[in-house]
Amino acid sequence: MILIAIKTMKKHLLNYSLLLISFLLLSCASTTSVEKQANKSCVSANVKITTDFATGRMDECTLIGENEYLITLIPENIPPINSSPWYAFKIQAKQATDIRIIMKVQGDVHRYPPKISTDAKKWALQKYRLKGERLTMDIKATTTPVIIAGQEIINNQYYVDWANKLSQGTDFTYQELGKSTQGRSIDKIESRNKNAKEWIVILGRQHPPEITGALALFPFVETLLADSPLAKKFREKYNILVLPNINPDGVHAGNWRSNANGIDLNRDWNDFSQVETRQINHYLEQLVAQGQKIKFAVDFHSTRSDVFYTMPVDYGVEQPYLVKHWLGDLDKQMPDFTVKQKPGNNPDAGVSKQYFSDKFGVHAITYEMGDNTDRYQIKRIAYNAANTLMATLLSDVNHNKP
């Protein structure tokens, strides 16, 4: 999905509650020459613009005037499968100087308003101007490096740290499911009760830039695995499988959409041409062969607004009104948030939602958070969504009827 209109981008920017960062104003110095590096960096006598870190991405960088740089974003697939022009780069100067960054997207338009950080943890919105296809930022480059990125950075190590903390001191298991195309670990978190046979499956990060989906997955999973009476009761009846980072190669490379082979993983759940989807399918098939049952699945993504893509009630999955009941309860519990349900199906698309419904005959949803949805609101929605899902699945309500 694309944020095209400037007014829409500005409106959404007001929703952020991020920490503003102030920079020291020092004496200015100008750059005189620039060398284009193999790692898509710009290095001059005074200023360095680099991408030598996990998730770093800019495809071309050129000095076009005194202290003025043109950065071009190019999709790994042309034309791109979906507009997700990710970028992340670091700026540092030997002596403080004012620079201008102009960004354009080859064959596409900008989607993510720029954010700035000194530590990749606390982020603020970076002022910018959008005119036509060009996004312009004026930045004070200093000896303290700053990172400019399309969204907050959540790299592969973030998932490792989060999963280790989540599973520490519990009986949840955190293990490697398999390897990605480039040999990175695809990990799983499991809560398994020997008396339970039904599984809830949680998927995340098929598409690298979709950070708000990740920001929703974390509190959603934490709520399912919490110490609360509801969560404990839920885990007595249901096993939970969490695959939070399916595309670690794409995340590391800062890809717009695809894995290391240029394939959109959320279009590969029919063909299983990629090792990432193939291994997950094999693992789920093993569970079923052992007498287990896949009950429900949630796949976390981002788009330009908050929406839940669901299966139609007349599609033929078991308990056809289960999701309608769940999301209806969520809507009632959050009067300040409108739960948008968009039923639909496309058996030939190869998306995970369809895969779970066709292969296992059960409900699955694509849980989408808006690119610019307030970050605190994302947590609130996820917390309430997880609690209402547990309550719905534990209730005595007949989900075969409206």
Domains of the chain from N-terminus onward: 6-149 (2.60.40.3120), 156-394 (3.40.630.10)
The whole-angstrom separation of Cα 84 and Cα 371 is 11
The whole-angstrom separation of Cα 52 and Cα 45 is 18
pLDDT tens-digit series, residues 288-331:
999 999 999 999 999 999 999 999 999 999 999 999 999 999 99
At 80 the pLDDT is: 76
What is the percent of the chain where pLDDT is above 70? 90
pLDDT tens-digit series, residues 180-236:
999 999 999 999 999 999 999 999 999 999 999 999 999 999 999 999 999 999 999
Chain centroid to CA 102: how far?
25
pLDDT tens-digit series, residues 357-386:
999 999 999 999 999 999 999 999 999 999
| Whether 63 contacts 44, CB under 8 Å | yes
Mean of the pLDDT values across residues 388-399? 97
Which of 394, 392, 364, 369 lies closest to 202, judged by CA? Answer: 364
At 30 the pLDDT is: 30
Cis peptide before 219 (omega within 30 of 0): no
End-to-end CA distance of the chain: 31
Beta strand spans in 9-53 (E): 34-36, 42-44, 47-50
At 300 the pLDDT is: 98
Other Cβ atoms closer than 10 A to 172 = 17
Mean of the pLDDT values across residues 92-104? 98
Which helix (H) or strand (E) segment is 364 a member of?
strand 364-370
At 110 the pLDDT is: 96
> Which residues face 97 on adjacent strands?
141
| Whether 166 contacts 159, CB under 8 Å | no
C-alpha angle with apex 140: 92 to 96, nearest 5 degrees? 65
Mean of the pLDDT values across residues 327-349? 97
| Whether 69 contacts 91, CB under 8 Å | no
Mean of the pLDDT values across residues 342-366? 97
At 317 the pLDDT is: 98
pLDDT tens-digit series, residues 117-156:
999 999 999 999 999 999 999 999 999 999 999 999 999 9
Confidence of residue 13 (pLDDT cuts 50, 70, 90): very low
Residue with more model confidence, 336 or 6: 336
What is the percent of the chain where pLDDT is above 90? 87
pTM: 0.90
Which of 278, 272, 284, 280 lies closest to 244, judged by CA? Answer: 280
At 5 the pLDDT is: 35
59 CB-contact burial (10 Å; exposed 0-12 / middle 13-18 / buried 19+): middle
- Report the DSSP pairing between strands 198-204 and 293-303: parallel
Confidence of residue 82 (pLDDT cuts 50, 70, 90): confident
pLDDT tens-digit series, residues 30-69:
322 333 333 478 999 999 999 999 999 999 999 999 999 9
